Chains A and B, each alone.
Chain A
């Protein structure tokens, strides 16, 4: 494995499969009565979160603890950012205390790249601005593979705010790299310029987009986007793009519905779909821990065979 995990763009298919296979072994640890292995004993992991996050931060922290790492959470509100310290200075100060891994979440795209240039510690990107969220894409791939046994050849539809979504970018990179047929859909105001160059098809007609889909992946609509006049109202958004049971019926009978969370019920997804039989949303959350254990373990220098030992 390389030094850092900054984005899916840096990975090869072999590396992705290695993470997924390692996560298979890690998942079993979470099912034991004593959910802890000594794998990362003596390693220090800093979770540096510049954006509020419940799911991702908790998931990383549980993963770190199950591997016996010493973990430290630095949240933005309690940090020296408020005193005017730059990211570079914060990074150098943390670096001076010699952590092994820094997990960073930041509102600026490329913040983890800046950190990676400054720090000798290994950097894991837990979401940088609108750029990438690689562990989310890995856990999504893990969940898809669990249900479909493969990724190659699957028809995956991603619907929502494509423009501002780091989940979209990581997923598109990963899924196209592994041979899935990816279609993205959303209002034209929220489709990034040139996105089709990443090897996806773009359809604004969501009914057409979901036809025969194996996987439907919903993206969160941030309500503040209405101020930017990206779409007229939440009501209209739900009518045109919301994932309803009627729309789900256009997909394959064994379609799975995914969402990276947090959900806006009644905006991008109807509650009966979110809680319905096709939904794997909570499985994604559960798998997140195993996938992040795998990433931490592989970055810390392990090989998958001894992972669960």
Chain B
């Protein structure tokens, strides 16, 4: 079956395209991209309304799908439903499930669930250490053979410098990135919020930005020592951004990601509008204005490589408790694109091609997975964006099983019109009814 997307603005930086092109999908692949492509009889024509943008499928390289083991928070099926509703054609899921994804059995289970769901692509990320205990390396070659694209002990950092060194060396054999949750554990202590005026005033135990940057500096030094590839997850502190810039300047193989909540929100959310709202409790914590502004600067100047959501669903009951008792994390898949448009594009922080680099090209490159371009012959993983769509965030209507978002009720400009995976439309936004894709 052939489908022709006609008349949309195609933004495909890898192939140097930004303009009105026709895009022909055939057998799940991008068959042709060009101006005024000839239409054959067996081709279904989809007229893309003006204003919409056709771009390579977005890839969220940091999500928690919770399955196996925590299916009351999220499953692979509900998580990938949230992903495609958020414009993501692929997600990479973290290994802190129960049991931990430290062996081929768990990896295979996740991939099986993803195949059943038939929504977004799922790239499992394996554990660095067996049981994420920080003692022995997991069977990394086995994980890779089973389909894992990277390794991490996310939720906490790789426990010791020695183990991190070994992980970088060993995974380096496969050119596999080690994704690091940077947090010096003794400095973090029992902290629950960014160490600063807000936490002091509210009587919350603090986590200084240096807890993150110290670990990032350790890992960058080890990446240099080993020649391994380290990716800094969910960067939040301005000191960490400086560490990454330092590492890149020295030629270390380091990349980093920022979440939408860390470039939109600050720790002022702890006190208002809702004091002690557990939906603004995440790790790393929301930091100060200076940190948030540093993240925006890093997104603009190219120091930040990717935007990832750290989608961390938690059940209502788990969040409806005292602030210091609540688990860390918020959902992110279904709000990311709108937040990016509203806070990065419409404010002029980044251009649309740069946003696509952050949300698609670079995640594909960092994880060494397909995608990131609309190259002829590539799988037809395509996101159609609606840059000016008025969006009201309604947590209760989200596809994710969990509703723990601080953005409920927010009005934003920009959203997702449709998501196409392997040539198949897996999401069509009812608010974009003029698009018949």
Contacts and interface: CB of A to CB of B under 8 A. Distances in A.
Contacts of A87: 321-322
Contacts of A197: 197, 201
Contact of A114 (B205, B206, B322): B322
B88 interface: no
B172 interface: no
Contacts of B324: 108-109, 129
Interface in B318-341: 320-325
A300 interface: no
Contacts of B317: 86
A108 B322 contact: yes
Contacts of B305: none
A110 B206 contact: no
Interface stretch (A24-32, A59-67, A188-196, A209-217): A188-196
B406 to A, nearest CB: 15
Interface in A216-257: 228
A197 B288 CA distance: 14
Contacts of B202: 109-110, 131
Contact of B322 (A106, A192, A198): A106
Nearest to B324: A108
Contacts of A169: 201, 203
Interface string B192-217: 00011101111111100000000000
Given A130-B204, A131-B203, A166-B203, A110 B323 contact: yes
A228 B187 CA distance: 11
A128 interface: yes
B197 A114 contact: no
Nearest to B190: A228
Interface in A177-199: 192-195, 197-198
Most buried by B among A86, A106, A166, A198: A86
Contact of A193 (B189, B196, B323, B325): B196
Nearest to A162: B200
Given A87-B322, A194-B196, A109 B201 contact: no
Interface in A95-122: 106, 108-111, 113-114
Contacts of A111: 322
B276 interface: yes
B276 A114 contact: yes
A198 B201 CA distance: 8
Contact of A109 (B196, B203, B321): B203
A130 to B, nearest CB: 3
Contacts of B196: 193-194
Contacts of A9: 201
B201 A128 contact: no
B275 interface: yes
B276 A113 contact: yes
A194 to B, nearest CB: 3
A146 interface: no
A268 interface: no
Contacts of A114: 276, 320-323
Interface in A125-169: 128-132, 166, 169
Interface string A40-66: 000000000000000000000000000
- Interface size class on chain A is 20 to 34
A110 B197 contact: no
Contacts of A228: 189
B320 A86 contact: yes
A132 B322 contact: no
A194 B203 contact: no
B266 to A, nearest CB: 14
Contact of B199 (A86, A108, A193): A193
A12 interface: no
B342 to A, nearest CB: 28
A245 to B, nearest CB: 32
A280 B72 CA distance: 55
B197 A193 contact: yes
A130 B203 contact: yes
A88 interface: yes
Contact of A88 (B206, B275, B321, B323): B321
Nearest to A117: B274
Nearest to A128: B203
Contacts of B204: 109-110, 130-131
Most buried by B among A87, A169, A192, A198: A192
Nearest to B206: A193
A110 B320 CA distance: 12
What 5 pairs between A and B have smallest CB-CB spacing? Answer: A110-B276, A194-B197, A131-B203, A130-B203, A108-B322
Given A110-B204, A129-B203, 15 more contacts: A108-B322, A108-B325, A109-B324, A110-B202, A110-B203, A114-B321, A130-B203, A130-B205, A192-B199, A194-B196, A194-B197, A194-B201, A195-B197, A195-B200, A197-B201
Interface of B: 189, 195-197, 199-206, 275-276, 317, 320-325
29 contacts: A86-B317, A88-B320, A88-B321, A108-B322, A108-B324, A109-B204, A109-B276, A109-B323, A110-B202, A110-B203, A110-B204, A110-B276, A110-B323, A113-B275, A114-B320, A114-B321, A114-B323, A128-B203, A129-B203, A131-B202, A131-B203, A131-B204, A169-B201, A192-B200, A193-B196, A193-B200, A194-B196, A194-B200, A195-B197
